[in-house]
């Protein structure tokens, strides 16, 4: 037992010896002012940070750069963290800590200060994104959002690299290992990278935007609600959400109905064959006049318009109505079609004609028939009577 006690006592002495030597070497006259200074800085970190931010804003105004209140409020938390970290770094000089502990603590505080700077930069990306508001339209919203996301990712990577540099961590072997590992990951995640590149392609080509009504034959038809790096959220007209991989949207023929300047109406109006030439002309002219006088339709030459007797069908004379509506909104388009349909019905009734419907006529051709039918009652043979 005595041997174990002596071993434990020796280990404890070896562990506490550096701290005993450190404490004996601490300058008490410099320690107290350093602690008071650090405590005051930490206690008044908020007003100090406010003053530092206001000084930055004043310096910006002197050189013609306006720092908005939103930017000032964004960088205040980072300024507080940096002030506290710097105060602790200054106060550590009076502690004269052992080399190992001193280096670790200094690295930690320096990491906090650097991280505070990059946190401010990360927060400012949202603020500076507001500068792109004049360029943010329905066609450029996706590009602006992706620029902000890429900027945030770049700030995060640079901040992490700076912190690792403080701790003397070499990123070369790490990147090399990631390169070797990336070859295997690339084979396993080739669909992910394919969809990622397709997403950049969709963005650069501006084939569609959020809110557009699109149709990809055999894939999806609906309204684009969100675009991500790997897929796009398209909501069908039955309100079911569908996550479509970007590759399927980039490599297929895509129809964007929202890019239509106008919407087309193309009808064949079937009229009865008994309608006279006068009636057909009156119906045609009435429909043409209605469309020409209505503000719902686009006039030539901005868009084509044809109201003509078009063809002779099996059971009708067909009148073609070909025109374009001003509004591309589906609800407005339906209302315009409804009003046009009622106007066409009124025109047909006022002309004294009618709409045709599919019908068939059977004509029986007259021909020679047998002189007598053996199955008629007059020609049937009667059985002989008993007398015969």
Position 388 scores a pLDDT of 47
Position 172 scores a pLDDT of 62
Position 142 scores a pLDDT of 64
Position 70 scores a pLDDT of 73
Mean pLDDT of the chain: 78
- pLDDT, one tens digit per residue, over 337-371 is 999 999 999 999 999 999 998 777 777 776 665 55
Structural contact between residues 320 and 308, judged by C-beta atoms closer than 8 angstroms: yes
217 pLDDT above the threshold of 50: yes
- pLDDT, one tens digit per residue, over 143-193 is 677 777 778 888 888 888 888 888 877 666 655 655 555 555 556 567 777
What is the percent of the chain where pLDDT is above 90?
A: 27
Position 37 scores a pLDDT of 74
**Residues 278-296: b if buried by 16+ CB within 10 A, e if exposed:** ebbebbbebbbebbeebeb
- pLDDT, one tens digit per residue, over 225-254 is 888 878 889 999 899 999 999 888 888 889
Phi then psi for residue 320, to 5 deg, are -90, 130
* Location of structure tokens 């927060």: 123
Counting Cα atoms < 13 Å in the Cβ hemisphere of 325 gives 19
CB atoms within 10 A of CB 84: 20
Q: Which of 28-42, 278-292, 297-311 has the lowest mean pLDDT?
A: 28-42
306 pLDDT above the threshold of 90: yes
374 pLDDT above the threshold of 50: yes
56 pLDDT above the threshold of 80: no
User: For the chain, which residues make up each domain, given as ranges?
Assistant: 23-169, 190-259, 263-350
The arrangement of secondary structure in 190-259, i.e. its CATH architecture, is: Roll (2.30)
Position 175 scores a pLDDT of 59
Domain 263-350 has CATH 3.40.640.10: no
* Rounded average pLDDT over 56-69: 74
Report the range out of 69-83, 129-143, 150-164, 273-287 with the highest average pLDDT: 273-287
- pLDDT, one tens digit per residue, over 108-142 is 888 888 888 888 888 777 767 666 666 666 555 66
Predicted TM-score of the model (pTM): 0.49
27 pLDDT above the threshold of 80: no
195 pLDDT above the threshold of 70: yes
Position 228 scores a pLDDT of 80
Position 65 scores a pLDDT of 65
Position 133 scores a pLDDT of 66
């Amino acid at each position: 037992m005595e041997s174990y006690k002596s071993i434990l006592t020796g280990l404890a002495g070896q562990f506490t010896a550096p701290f005993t030597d450190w404490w004996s070497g601490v300058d008490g006259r410099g320690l107290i002012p350093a602690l008071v200074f650090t405590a005051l800085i930490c206690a008044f970190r908020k007003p100090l940070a406010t003053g530092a931010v206001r000084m930055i804003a004043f310096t910006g105004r002197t050189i013609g750069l306006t720092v908005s209140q939103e930017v000032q409020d964004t960088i205040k938390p980072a300024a507080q963290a940096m002030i506290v970290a710097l105060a602790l770094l200054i106060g550590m000089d009076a502690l004269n800590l052992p080399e190992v502990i001193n280096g670790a603590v200094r690295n930690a505080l320096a990491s906090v200060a650097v991280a505070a700077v990059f946190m401010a930069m990360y927060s400012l990306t949202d603020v500076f994104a507001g500068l792109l508001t004049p360029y943010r339209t329905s066609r450029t919203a996706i590009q602006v959002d992706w620029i902000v996301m890429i900027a945030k990712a770049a700030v995060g990577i640079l901040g992490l690299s700076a912190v690792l540099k403080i701790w003397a961590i070499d990123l070369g072997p790490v990147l090399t290992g990631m390169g070797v590992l990336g070859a295997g990951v690339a084979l396993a995640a080739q669909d992910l990278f394919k969809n990622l590149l397709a997403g950049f392609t969709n963005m650069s080509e501006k084939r569609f935007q959020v809110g557009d009504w699109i149709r990809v034959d055999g894939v999806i038809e609906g309204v684009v609600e969100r675009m991500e790096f790997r897929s796009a959220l398209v909501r069908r007209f039955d309100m079911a959400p569908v996550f479509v991989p970007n590759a399927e949207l980039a490599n297929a023929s895509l129809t964007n109905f929202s890019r239509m300047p106008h919407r087309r109406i193309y009808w064949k109006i079937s009229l009865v064959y008994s309608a006279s030439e006068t009636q057909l002309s009156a119906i045609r002219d009435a429909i043409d006049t209605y469309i020409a006088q209505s503000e719902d339709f686009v006039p030539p030459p901005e868009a084509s318009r044809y109201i003509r007797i078009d063809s002779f069908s099996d059971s009708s004379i067909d009148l073609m109505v070909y025109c374009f509506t001003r509004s591309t909104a589906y609800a407005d388009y339906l209302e315009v079609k409804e009003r046009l349909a009622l106007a066409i019905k009124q025109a047909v009734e006022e002309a004294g004609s009618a709409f045709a419907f599919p019908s068939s006529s059977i004509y029986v051709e007259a021909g020679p028939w047998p002189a007598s039918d053996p199955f008629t009652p007059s020609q049937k043979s009667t059985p002989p009577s008993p007398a015969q």
